[in-house]
Amino acid sequence: MKIKENALTKKYIKDIKSADVWSVFKIIADFVKGFDELGDLGPTVTIFGSARPNSDDFYYKETVKLSSMLAKKGFNIMSGGGPGIMEAANKGAKEVGGVESIGLNIDLDFEQLINPYTTTNLNFDYFFSRKVMLVKYSMAYVIFPGGYGTLDELFEALTLVQTKKVIGVKIFVVGVEFYKPLLDFIELKLVANKMITIEDFHLIKLSDDLECICDEIEVSLKTQIKVLEDVGLEDSAYYKSLSSLKV
């Protein structure tokens, strides 16, 4: 059976045919681009969620609302750059203004066109390099309802915090009705079978209270700044980045 070629298939075939060394250079280019463009960001919150909801969707509207609330407090907003929840995140930030509305797009043959509400956008060839950038420069992650990609990002974030590869980052999950069965599974199966600890389970803050989430992110920023001061890191680039927002 002949495989119908589309743009993504052609790109995949080209990658297979290319020498491994050139693939390494492309991967490095993805990382260099991200480090170069995002290294000077101030306090930033990354919002994850499905590409599929439209502007009439309840969670789309809630995302715009939370993003606007955070932007008014001076937080930059970062998303995957596409439509749906990602678009809503960037929309809330851009409409408030005065902060960066960042979109980190991925080269896909469907769904993923850059939304029009970004002030800074980057395109990535690889999911893994894009995912590093989505978490590396943020002090909090907010997970709205989504599919496989969103769940992948949720568990990646949890793994990074659990293993202390990132410190001081808060993980908020919005959509109690949507996510409660998943959290029940984690508690009743993973915790009960000692696959994770109860402390690992409590890394997740499940809430539909946007005001509470916003307030907790603000408190977390103050805490991180104080910790850096206590260990004498006021001259570090990270401290200067966080303290650029006076809370």
Q: Please indicate, yes or no, if residue 25 is contained in any of the structural domains.
A: yes
- The pLDDT score that the predictor gives to residue 12 is 58
Domain assignment present for residue 234? The answer is: no
Predicted TM-score (pTM) of this structure: 0.86
Tell me which amino acid residue 48 is. F
Between the CA of residue 242 and those of 31, 32, 107, 153, 236, what are the distances in Å?
22, 22, 31, 23, 10
Angle between helices 58-72 and 85-96 (to 10 degrees): 30
Burial status of residue 190 (CB atoms within 10 A of its CB: 0-12, 13-18, 19 or more): middle
**54 class by beta-carbon count within 10 Å (0-12 exposed, 13-18 middle, 19+ buried):** exposed
Residue 163 lies in a domain: yes
Query: How much is the pLDDT for 28?
Result: 78
For 157, the domain range is 7-221
For tokens 């509400």, the residue is: 117
Tally the domains of the chain.
1
Q: Give me the tens of pLDDT residue by residue for the chain, a chain 247 residues long.
A: 455 556 656 665 655 555 566 677 777 777 777 677 777 788 999 999 999 999 999 999 999 999 999 999 999 999 999 999 999 999 999 999 999 999 998 766 554 678 999 999 888 877 878 888 888 888 899 999 999 999 999 999 999 999 998 888 899 999 999 999 999 999 999 999 999 999 999 999 999 999 999 999 999 888 888 888 888 888 887 788 788 776 5
In the structure encoding, which two tokens stand for residue 101, read together? 């509305």
Structural contact between residues 41 and 77, judged by C-beta atoms closer than 8 angstroms: no
- At residue 1, the pLDDT reads 46
Contact of 221 with 247, CB cutoff 8 Å? yes
Q: Within a domain: residue 246?
A: no
pLDDT at 231: 86
Residue 19: per-residue pLDDT = 54
In SS3 terms, the chain reads as: CCCCCCHHHHHHHHHHHCCHHHHHHHHHHHHHHHHHHHCCCCCEEEEECCCCCCCCCHHHHHHHHHHHHHHHCCCEEEECCCCCHHHHHHHHHHHHCCCCEEEEEECCCCCCCCCCCCCEEEEECCHHHHHHHHHHCCCEEEECCCCHHHHHHHHHHHHHHHCCCCCCCEEEECCHHHHHHHHHHHHHHHHCCCCCCHHHHCCEEECCCHHHHHHHHHHHHHHHHHHHHHCCCCCCHHHHHHCCCCC
Q: How far is CA 7 from the centre of its chain?
A: 27
pLDDT of residue 240: 81
The enclosing domain of 194 has a CATH number of: 3.40.50.450
Q: Is residue 200 part of a domain?
A: yes
* Res 94: pLDDT: 97
Determine the pLDDT at residue 27.
75
